[in-house]
Amino acid sequence: MRANDFYQARSYSSAMVETIELPPFTPRSKLTIEDVVRDPAFRYSVNMVRVDLESLARVAFAAQGCTSRKWWRCLRAAPSAGATYPLRVYVAVMSVTGIEEGLYAYTSPAPKLHYLERVGALPGSAGEDSFTLFFEERPERTTSVYGVRGYMYVREEVGHAIQGAVLEASVLGLAVRVRRCEELEEFDGRVEYCLDVGGRGAPLLENPNPRESLLPAPLKPLLTLEEALLARRSVRRYELAP
């Protein structure tokens, strides 16, 4: 789908459901993965504060945004076995500027472009935070290619998606809480994990002091964290070509 197709689709769908265009994702932070892991978002308790819409957009994109197109499909921020993409992200909005409370489906049909579609009221498992990401699983998309071991790949993909969202929340100075969800009637597929996002409260963990070492310092990352999210891919070649 080209960018123009995205805007046509957005205009068409908005006639039937409430559609909210999100700010396109562009790398802007200079922080690297090395910087982010020193002060991760999960280190803090999560408070409900008013979060701007762009912060929500950037966290959701880091989980399932379209980073580029290849093989006639979108490649996403979270690597997927065989590019089968068994996940769908939903966002429960509680306290975000410029958007009403409710449950929204997240869609990213073209590189760096994305939007939300309202699908209903807040689910019962929504927490006391600014917004919550729900990761709906459709394992048949992966098991149809890989058989039973596809379930393992779906588990891994959920972890990749949550990891991306946690890292971007860390860049933005937000706090997160990963938790297992109750059984939810609002979703057709299985939703086992969700991610609460909000303002930073009291620290839950102390920052470890780096230990002295005789080993040489590791090389600095060549990309910022957000640049790395856009470039992230599954790697299956484990040795250099001859």
**The pLDDT value given to residue 16:** 58
Which pLDDT score, from 0 to 100, does residue 11 have? 36
pLDDT at 192: 87
Q: Which residues of the chain carry a pLDDT beneath 50?
A: 1-15, 236-238, 240-242
The ranges assigned to domains in the chain are 21-204+220-231
pLDDT at site 71: 78
pTM for the complete prediction? 0.85
The three-state (H, E, C) secondary structure of the chain, written as one string: CCHHHHHHHHHHHHCCCCEEECCCCCCCCCCCHHHHCCCCHHHEEEECCCECHHHHHHHHHHHHCEEEEECCEEEECCCCHHHCCCEEEEEEECCECCCCCEEEEEEEEECCEEEEEEEECCCCCCCCCCEEEEEEECCHHHHHHHHHHHHHHHHHHHHHHHHHHHHHHHHCCCEEEEEECCCCCCCCCEEEEEEEEEEEEEECCCCCCCCCCCCCCCCCCCCCHHHHHHHCCCCCCCCCCC
* pLDDT score of 94: 95
- Supply the pLDDT for residue 205: 77
Given this model, what pLDDT does residue 234 score?
61
Q: Give me the CATH code for the 21-204+220-231 domain, please.
A: 3.40.109.10
